[in-house]
Amino acid sequence: MLIGVLGLQGAVSEHERMLADCGAKTRRVKTPEDLNGLDGIVVPGGESTAIRKLLVRESMLEPLRDLVAQGLPTFGTCAGMVLLAQPESLAGIHADVERNGFGRQRESFESDLQVTGWETPFHGVFIRAPYLKSVSAPAEALITLDDGRIVAATEKNVLTTAFHPELTGDKRFHQYFIDEFVKATTKTA
């Protein structure tokens, strides 16, 4: 199993380490050719405008958007969630995204999150995080805060979190991506 980590900007090596800890091989994706033969891809956090510009510059925006549309298992965190929710970027999830949605006072914060079916909460690290105001089918909210903001959501082959699981010691989100998205797809392929 080979999982790419989009390596143009942002928290790249942290994702690679987490995926390796889960037993996956990783490839840093910097050119359109690097997209070939992947079983899944992570779009990391960073700065979504910068990552989008680099995707355009490297002629990767359309190829990656096509792969996502064709069903490549894709995990976007923070800026990755923004790019996946923007129709003009990766268009991977039907959701209305608010960039930097927590405002200045709460630029960065941490919060324990309840995930349905998980025994203990997941520690969410939010850094100038987006949130989803709403999702529409076939997208589904995975984690909704008490105030209604959606901070994790899925759609078919796409998993997104507004927070940074790669900055915790907790592998559960990466393992969830591998088990429920990558392995599920590989089995039926």
Active-site residue, 174 included: no
Is 124 in a helix, a strand, or coil?
strand
Side chain identity at residue 140, one-letter code: E
Buried b or exposed e, range 52-75, using 16+ CB within 10 angstroms: bebbeebebbebbbebbeeebbbb
d(CA 179, CA 171): 12
Lookup: tokens for 142? 């995975």
Number of residues engaging ligand GLN in binding (CB under 6 A): 12
| Minimal distance, residue 51 CB to ligand GLN, in Å | 7
Active-site residue, 14 included: no
Which residue among the candidates 16, 22, 155, 164 is catalytic per the annotation? 164
Q: Counting beta carbons within 10 angstroms of the beta carbon of residue 104, is it exposed (0 to 12), middle (13 to 18) or buried (19 or more)?
A: exposed
Residues 7-46 interacting with ligand GLN (rule: CB under 6 A): 45-46
Picking from 59, 127, 48, 143, the residue whose alpha carbon sits closest to that of residue 86 is: 48
| Minimal distance, residue 165 CB to ligand GLN, in Å | 12
Lookup: tokens for 87? 């129709």
Active-site residue, 164 included: yes
24 DSSP 8-state letter: -
| Minimal distance, residue 36 CB to ligand GLN, in Å | 26
Residue 52 assigned ligand-binding role: no
12, 127, 152, 178: which one contacts ligand GLN (CB under 6 A)?
A: 127
- The contact mask relative to ligand GLN for 63-82 (x = CB under 6 A, - = no) is ---------------xx--x
Residue 99 assigned ligand-binding role: yes
Nearer to ligand GLN, 99 or 133 (CB): 99
| Minimal distance, residue 46 CB to ligand GLN, in Å | 5
Is 44 in a helix, a strand, or coil?
coil
Residues 144-173 interacting with ligand GLN (rule: CB under 6 A): none
Catalytic residue IDs? 78, 164, 166
Show binding-site residues for L-glutamine. 46-48, 99, 127-128
